[in-house]
C-alpha cells in the first residue's frame, strides 16, 4: 500500500500553506512526517492511503508495525510459454517482496497441459502468479504485476474487451482470486528483455525442469 502526506507549512506571520507529497511507501511516509514535526515547520499532518483512509503519525506507525511483518512492497513478474505441437504451456513467475527488514525472491514455474493458444498460456501464468500470492498469505495489499503480454494486461485493466470464451474463463478466475485476497493490483507492461527471469522459468517448465525456490536477497 502506498501513502501520501498532506501538511501545513508554517510561514512567518502565522500563515500556512498546505502541501501534498507523492505516493510513497509507509516507511518513507512516516520518516517524512516525523521530520516535518521535529522541524516545527510541518503541522496538521495527515496520511492518506490508496483506498482513501486517513491516519495521523501515531496511527500509521502502529499500522506499519503490523504490516511490516507481513509480505509487502510486492512486485510480480509473469510469463507464459507455449508449445503448439503438444498444446502445453510453461508458466513462469518471479515474486519480489519485503517482510520485516528483509527482502525475498520466489522463483516458480509449472507445466500445464491442454492449452490452445499463447494468449491462454499468458493468462494461465497470471493465475499461477496470483495463486503464489495466496500461498504466501498475501491479502489486503497493493501488488504490481509486470508482464510482456499487452493482451493480458490491457484486458485485466478493462481497457481492451475480451471476446474469446477460453480467455474469459481465465479472466474471471483471476479477478475472482484477486477480489478474494482483497489485492489492489496495478499492471505494468514491460519488454521481453525486462521479463527474462519469468521467461526463462516458463521455458524451463516446457523442458521438464520444475523450479520452486525462495531466497533472501540484498
For 4-55, what is each residue's pLDDT tens digit? 999 998 887 767 899 999 998 888 999 999 998 888 878 889 999 887 889 8
pLDDT score at 37: 87
**List of residues 6+ apart from 210 with CB closer than 8 A:** 109, 110, 111, 204
- Cα dist. 1→24, 34, 44, 175, 180 in Å? 9, 19, 22, 19, 17
Give me 169's grid cell.
474463463
pLDDT score at 64: 82
Side-chain-facing half-sphere of 13: CA atoms under 13 Å: 3
CATH architecture of 72-217: 2-Layer Sandwich (3.30)
Q: What is the pTM of this model?
A: 0.79
Residue ranges per structural domain of the chain: 2-67, 72-217
Give the span between the Cα atoms of 60 and 4, in whole angstroms: 12
For 140-194, what is each residue's pLDDT tens digit? 888 999 999 999 999 999 999 988 999 999 999 999 999 999 999 999 999 999 9
For 71-126, what is each residue's pLDDT tens digit? 888 999 999 999 999 999 999 999 999 988 889 999 999 999 888 899 999 999 99
Amino acid at each position: 500500500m502506498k501513502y501520501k502526506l498532506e501538511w501545513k507549512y508554517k510561514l512567518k506571520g502565522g500563515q500556512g500553506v498546505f502541501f501534498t507529497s507523492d505516493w510513497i511507501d509507509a516507511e518513507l511516509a512516516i520518516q517524512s512526517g516525523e521530520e516535518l514535526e521535529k522541524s516545527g515547520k510541518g503541522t496538521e499532518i495527515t496520511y492518506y492511503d490508496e483506498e482513501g483512509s486517513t491516519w495521523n503519525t501515531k496511527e500509521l506507525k502502529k499500522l506499519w508495525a503490523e504490516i511490516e511483518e507481513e509480505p509487502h512492497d510486492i512486485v510480480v513478474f509473469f510469463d507464459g510459454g507455449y508449445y503448439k505441437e503438444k498444446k502445453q504451456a510453461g508458466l513462469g513467475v518471479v515474486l519480489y517482496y519485503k517482510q520485516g527488514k528483509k527482502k525475498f525472491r520466489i522463483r516458480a514455474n509449472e507445466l500445464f497441459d491442454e492449452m490452445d493458444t499463447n494468449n491462454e498460456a499468458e493468462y494461465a501464468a497470471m493465475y499461477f502468479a496470483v495463486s503464489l500470492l495466496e500461498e504466501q498469505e498475501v491479502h489486503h495489499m497493493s501488488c504490481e504485476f509486470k508482464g510482456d503480454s499487452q493482451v493480458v494486461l490491457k484486458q485485466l485493466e478493462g481497457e481492451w474487451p475480451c471476446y474469446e470464451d477460453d480467455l474469459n474463463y481465465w479472466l474471471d478466475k483471476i479477478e475472482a482470486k484477486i477480489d478474494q485476497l482483497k489485492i489492489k493490483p496495478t499492471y505494468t507492461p514491460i519488454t521481453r528483455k525486462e521479463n527474462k527471469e519469468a521467461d526463462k522459468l516458463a521455458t524451463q517448465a516446457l523442458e521438464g525442469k520444475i523450479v520452486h525456490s525462495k531466497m533472501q536477497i540484498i
